[in-house]
């Protein structure tokens, strides 16, 4: 599967996270929550997705929600190639 396809899977998987409120993401940051789940492609290959939240600039302001997708290759190979990421920002006003 190419990077564009992986990026689309990641973006689609993160769509539901856009409706989570700012207060919930504040709790994620406080508790150091990382959501992790697997997606199986039609060929049976598994991909792991991890989603976390952190302050985008200053504590108490905008929160960045970042998702990554891992294709299961060994860690040292990840240093030499980038995998897709997807992020969005949630402001204190919920937008």
Q: Domains, the chain, ranges and CATH?
A: 3-90 (3.30.1300)
Q: What pLDDT score does 1 carry?
A: 67
Q: pTM (2 decimals)?
A: 0.83
Query: How far, in Å, CA of 16 to CA of 14, rounded?
Result: 6
The predicted model gives 39-61 an average pLDDT of: 90
Sheet strand arrangement including 85-90: 34-40, 46-55, 63-70, 85-90
Is the predicted pLDDT of residue 34 greater than 60, yes or no?
A: yes
């Amino acid at each position: 599967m190419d990077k564009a396809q992986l990026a689309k899977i990641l973006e689609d998987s993160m769509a539901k996270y856009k409706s989570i409120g700012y207060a919930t993401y504040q709790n994620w940051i406080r508790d150091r929550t990382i959501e992790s789940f697997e997606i199986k492609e039609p060929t049976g290959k598994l991909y792991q997705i991890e989603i976390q939240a952190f302050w985008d600039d200053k504590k108490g302001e905008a929160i960045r929600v970042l998702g990554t997708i891992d294709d299961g290759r060994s860690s040292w190979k990840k240093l030499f190639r980038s995998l897709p990421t997807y992020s969005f920002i949630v402001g204190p006003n919920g937008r």
